[in-house]
Amino acid sequence: MARRTRSSFLENRTARLKLAARKKPYSALIAPGIFLAYRRNAGPGTWSVKCNGWLKRFALADDHEDANGESVMTYWQALDRAKTLARAGEGNTEQPISVAEAVDAYEADLETRGGRKYNATQLRLHLTDASNSKVVALLTERELRDWRAGLVKAGLKPSSADRIGRSLKAALALAARNDKRITNAAAWKNGLRKLPDSEVARNVILPDQTVKALVEASYVEDTDFGLLIEVLAETGARESQVFKLTPHDLQDDHPIAPRLMMPTSRKGKNRKIEYRPLPISTRLATALRQQTKGRAVHAPLFDKMWNLATLFSPVVKRLDLGAEVTPYALRHSSIVRQLLKGVPTRVVAAHHDTSVVMIEMNYSRYIIGDPTEALTRATLIDLAAPARSAEIVPLARLAS
């Protein structure tokens, strides 16, 4: 068994607490080119690893509380962790990425791809200084599970905590793709698994008159904002899709059947954007044609509006609707409107850039109802009608 490096002034708390508090950390060589660094503070000290010119803090020292092997460590635990971190990628001189840096990279990636930066900015609100400073390559399943449980304990709904957890998973996955030293993807895949209570449907379905009132009230706020809300209401598209529209996507040559070439989202594994024709009203087509004036053919049709739900909130309050009514309710309402009109589920799914499975999972109670009753009623057997023949035909003969 290999011998572990001892350090008389760091390996026990009594010796460490005799050291003078200072900014420059005390260090011990624990392997060729690898140092375990300890910073003596007025409060508990901190452990860091120093290697190839970079220094990364990863845990508190057990100066005033018992070690737990994760956030608080003994000298021996810190020694092993420092070696693991330094050797995660031999020959790589770059400093290991922290959670905060991973979220920054995630935000930049979202902006580059035209995604919602809100996913990153909202995530930051729920990360503590301790969480931000953690090294991605050293995250554990328990740490991530406890972090999300803390969100629920603090008052977030399971669905909200799950949504924020998915943003963190995306940030960590991006970091792992960019740094091959990060090999602990199982930590966030298992630690941030979907919560059992997060599947409770939050779909808000609005009557047609309420949708109309929301669109009209949005125009009162601002003309561009009102037009954006009208597009969301009429097409049922996601806001990320609508912000990708360009003047070139408006096809209004036909006088009574205009349409929008709606770009698909980049959800799931399919990152390729395709365009699907969605029918729109002549009223909306006229307003969109006006919107194209002064814009280049392939320039955005709408200027970016961050955090649309916040902008939508005054409209909701003015109409005395509940806080659960968000712009996404327009999408839910569009899906249900088509289902209740008897539009085939496959067509509804294609129109809204989703799958039949997701439609059936979230809106099945609307699929079975008045539109389908006539279809299933025609299949009822009339047991009161007289039999045409008394002969009983064996099943074998029917099958032959």
Question: Which part of the chain has CATH 1.10.443.10?
Answer: 208-375
Sequence ranges of the chain with CATH classification 1.10.150: 99-199
Nearest to 204 by CA among 309, 134, 302, 305: 309
pLDDT tier for residue 91 given thresholds of 50, 70 and 90: very low
- Token pair for 249: 């996507």
Q: Between these two residues, 130 and 376, which has the higher pLDDT value?
A: 130
259-298: per-residue pLDDT in tens? Answer: 999 999 866 555 578 899 999 999 999 999 999 999 999 9
Helix (H, G, I), strand (E, B) or coil at 160: helix
pLDDT at 383 (0 to 100): 78
User: What's the mean per-residue pLDDT of the chain?
Assistant: 86
pLDDT in tens, 180-211: 778 889 999 999 988 875 554 467 899 999 99
Domain 208-375 has CATH 1.10.443.10: yes
Amino acid 1: pLDDT: 42
Return the higher-pLDDT residue of 87 and 352.
352
Report the range of poorest mean pLDDT among 7-16, 55-64, 78-87, 110-119: 110-119
Q: What angle in degrees, to the nearest 10, is found between the helix axes of 223-235 and 328-340?
A: 40
Give residue-wise pLDDT tens across range 212-264: 999 999 999 999 999 999 999 999 999 989 999 999 999 999 889 999 999 99
Q: Of the CATH numbers 1.10.150, 1.20.1530, 1.10.101, 3.30.70, which one belongs to the domain with range 99-199? A: 1.10.150
In sequence order, the 6+-apart residues with CB closer than 8 A to the CB of 98 are: 56, 132, 133, 134, 135, 136
Q: How far apart are CA 233 and CA 333, in angstroms?
A: 8
- Copy the structure tokens of residue 127: 């990360």
Distance CA 9, CA 26 (A): 9
With 90 as the cut, is the pLDDT of residue 318 above it?
Answer: yes
